[in-house]
Amino acid sequence: MKLLILGGGGREHAIVWKLLQSSRATEIVCAPGNAGICAEAEARVRCVPVDLNSLDDIVRVAIEEQPDLTVVGPEQPLTLGVVDEFERRGWRIFGPSKVAARLESSKVFAKEFMQRHQIPTPKYAVCTSLQDVEDALPLFTAPIVVKADGLAAGKGVLIAASREEAQQISAEMLAGRTLAGAGSRLLLEEFVEGEELSLLCLSDGRQLAPLAAAQDYKRVGEGDTGANTGGMGAYSTDTLLEPEMREWVLAHIARPAIAGMAAEGAPFKGILYCGLMLTARGPLVLEFNARFGDPETQPLLMRLHSDLLDALEAVVDERIESLALEWTPEVALGVVMASGGYPGSFESGQPITGIEAAEATGAKVFQAGTALNNDNHSDSHIVTCGGRVLCVTALGADLEAAAAKAYSAVEKISFEHSYYRRDIGQ
Ligand code: GLY
């Protein structure tokens, strides 16, 4: 079977790596891919250029490549309606439709949906003007979360220490000075504390199959300090979510969400990512995403024994009830190595060394912001070309063992101004 994978981050590298373990995946084309994906088992994998912000360009690649199945990695093509367009043409594709992907692409839609279906979530107010913000602020005590309605690549959530700061952040978002159009409508949200974790579920629009639980480290600095990022590391272990709590989350959050989307005429097919906070008053939904998480997917797929292609096809063919996912009981942990300065400005083009030595320790180096520099044709080498560059991922008998293995692999890799958190898994 020929597969087309859309995306070029660490998540897509992990998806390609896992699909290569399926003997039925005879050819994999990744658009646009990255240097690490191109280097995987070269005979079966190719990378081709694409503009993921253009539906026409994605369709062009599909016409040229004629895949049997397309898998969408990032949120942007979902929001453009790539699934609707492919299905209209009779092409098989894994991911939710444009209206179903609103669970991620509009934070306001997601909140109002949760309210309609009694899905537990922190208290909120929708604001489209500064007057709305002023009227709503007395309902909240500091700190207050300010969330842009639209997609903002992990930068749309800010935590204000005071009502004054919430007003100032809101004014900048609404005026389009930060986040452009993504913040023309926003949410004020109650700040809640607890253990944050992600439960991703495969859904065929009617039923679901939960993956193992994972925890993501969203802040750039150690001890969960500094700016929000796409994620600086993640781990997955069965002990993150006890069976009783997991059943509660499925019964009160994931299943009502799938049933609610179907009832509203927008059945959700693909990955429903439930971003949760386990608070003293029970689990609350911080956000839904409509795709695999990055970097959660890297440790998750390392723990998955089952064939990923079988799982993706069960979703597309709407027969998820036949799916029994198997996981290794081991813990998997991934450390993101980023370009210094991320999530702000950073330099690209830095040569990366030590990837082979890192993988010789038994870890897997999933690549994200990397490119092959072959200016000098006799000596091509991998260089940085993004904020999050690598996700060094390892399995261990327990969290300490997985972290020790991942960090010992990280230490073998170097590039100018590299940065990583030293507390992933703590
Ligand atoms: N790691 C968070 C996300 O994928 O949105």
Q: Which of 12, 76, 198, 287 to mutate to test the pocket of ligand 1 (most atoms within 8 A of CB)?
A: 198
pLDDT digit string, tens, across residues 321-356: 989 899 999 999 999 999 999 999 999 999 999 999
Interval 56-89: pLDDT, tens: 999 999 999 999 999 999 999 999 999 999 999 9
Q: Does the reported pTM lie above 0.85?
A: yes
183: nearest Cα among 160, 156, 163: 156
Between the alpha carbon of residue 281 and those of residues 116, 120, 137, 249, 256, the distances in Å are 20, 10, 23, 13, 19
pLDDT of res. 155: 77
Residue in 55, 73, 67 with CA at minimum distance from that of residue 14: 73
- Token pair 């004020």: residue: 188
Nearest to 96 by CA among 271, 226, 217: 271
Residue 293 CA to ligand 1 centre (angstroms): 4
Confirm or reject: Cβ of 203 under 6 Å from ligand 1: no
Please tell me the distance from the alpha carbon of residue 35 to that of residue 39, in angstroms, as a whole number. Answer: 6
Q: Is the pLDDT of residue 385 over 90?
A: yes
Which residue from 409, 388, 381 is spatially nearest to 339, judged by alpha carbons? 388
Alpha carbon of 374 to ligand 1 centroid (Å): 32
Q: 135 C-alpha to center of ligand 1: Å?
A: 32
Q: What is the DSSP string of 301-349?
A: HHHB-S-HHHHHHHHHTT-GGG----B-SSEEEEEEEEETTTTS-----
**Contact by Cβ (8 Å): 161, 116:** no
Q: Are 184 and 176 in contact (CB under 8 A)?
A: yes
Residue nearest to atom 3 of ligand 1 (CA): 293
Ligand 1 atom closest to Cα of residue 291: 4
Dist. CA 98–CA 77, nearest whole Å: 9
Ligand 1 midpoint to CA 142 (Å): 25
> How many whole angstroms from 152 Cα to the centroid of ligand 1?
12
Please give the distance, rounded to the nearest whole angstrom, from the Cα atom of residue 12 to the centre of ligand 1: 13
> Ligand 1 centroid to 201 CA: how many Å?
14
Q: For residue 176, name the pLDDT band (cuts at 50, 70, 90).
A: confident
Say how many residues make up the chain: 426
Question: pLDDT tens-digit profile of 199-229?
Answer: 999 999 999 999 999 999 999 999 999 988 9
For ligand 1, atom 5, which residue shows the shortest CA distance? 293
Distance CA 151, CA 75 (A): 8
- Residue 85 Cβ inside 6 Å of ligand 1? The answer reads no
**Residue in 75, 273, 277 to alter for ligand 1 test, most ligand atoms within 8 A of Cβ:** 273
Q: How confident is the model at residue 376 (pLDDT cuts 50, 70, 90)?
A: low
* pLDDT above 70 for 377: no
**289 within ligand 1 shell (Cβ under 6 A):** yes
- Residue range 392-426, pLDDT digits in tens: 999 999 999 999 999 999 999 999 999 999 999 99
The closest alpha carbon to 237, from 328, 326, 305, belongs to 328
CA-proximal residue: ligand 1, atom 4 (nearest): 293
Q: Is the pLDDT of residue 187 over 70?
A: yes
CA distance readout (Å), 403 to 319, 325, 360, 363, 364: 37, 25, 16, 11, 13
Ligand 1 and 293: CB distance under 6 A: yes
CB 146 within 8 A of CB 161: no
- The overall longest dimension of the chain from CA atoms, in Å, is 65
- State the alpha helices, DSSP H only, in 7-153: 10-19, 35-38, 55-65, 75-80, 82-88, 102-105, 107-116, 130-136
Confidence grade of residue 184 (pLDDT, cut at 50, 70, 90):
confident
**Lookup: tokens for 264:** 């509203």
Ligand 1 site, residue 104, Cβ cutoff 6 A: no
C-alpha 294 – ligand 1 centre gap (Å): 5
* Integer Cα distance of 344 and 346 in angstroms: 7
Average pLDDT score over residue span 97-110: 97
At 195 the pLDDT is 93
Report whether residue 216 contacts ligand 1, using a CB cutoff of 6 Å: yes
Ligand 1: does its nearest atom lie under 6 Å from the Cβ of 231?
yes
| Residue 209 identity | A
Question: How many A from CA of 178 to the centre of ligand 1?
Answer: 20
Mean pLDDT over residues 221-250, rounded?
A: 95
**pLDDT average, residue stretch 366-379:** 79
Write down the residue that tokens 């959700």 correspond to.
268
C-beta separation of 296 from 232 below 8 A? no
Q: For residues 273 and 291, is the Cβ–Cβ distance under 8 A?
A: yes
Query: Distance between CA 256 and CA 82 in Å, rounded?
Result: 26
Alpha-helical runs (H) found in 5-52 = 10-19, 35-38
- CA pair distance 98, 403, nearest whole angstrom: 38
Q: Does ligand 1 come within 6 angstroms of the Cβ of 294?
A: yes
DSSP class per residue in 164-201:
HHHHHHHHHHHTTSSSGGGGSSEEEEE---SEEEEEEE
Of ligand 1's listed atoms, the one at least distance from the Cα of 287 is 5
CA of 230 from ligand 1 middle (Å) equals: 6
**Identity (one letter) of the amino acid at 402?**
A
Q: Which atom of ligand 1 is nearest to the CA of 231?
A: 1
The secondary structure element, H or E, covering residue 419 is strand 418-419
Residue 224: what pLDDT?
92
Average pLDDT (1-7) is 98
pLDDT at position 379 over 60: no
Mean pLDDT for the stretch of residues 129-139: 96
Distance in angstroms (rounded) separating the CA atoms of residues 5 and 70 = 6
Percent of the chain beyond pLDDT 90?
92
Q: How far apart are CA 239 and CA 243, in angstroms?
A: 9
Dihedral over Cα of 262, 256, 315, 320: its sign: negative
Q: Which residue has the higher pLDDT, 50 or 42?
A: 50
Element (H, E) at 261: helix 255-263
Tell me: pLDDT of 378 over 80. Answer: no
pLDDT at 156 over 90: no
Taking the C-alpha atoms of residue 183 and residue 157, their distance in angstroms, rounded to an integer, is 10
Q: Who has greater pLDDT, 45 or 177? A: 45
What does pLDDT average to over the chain? 95
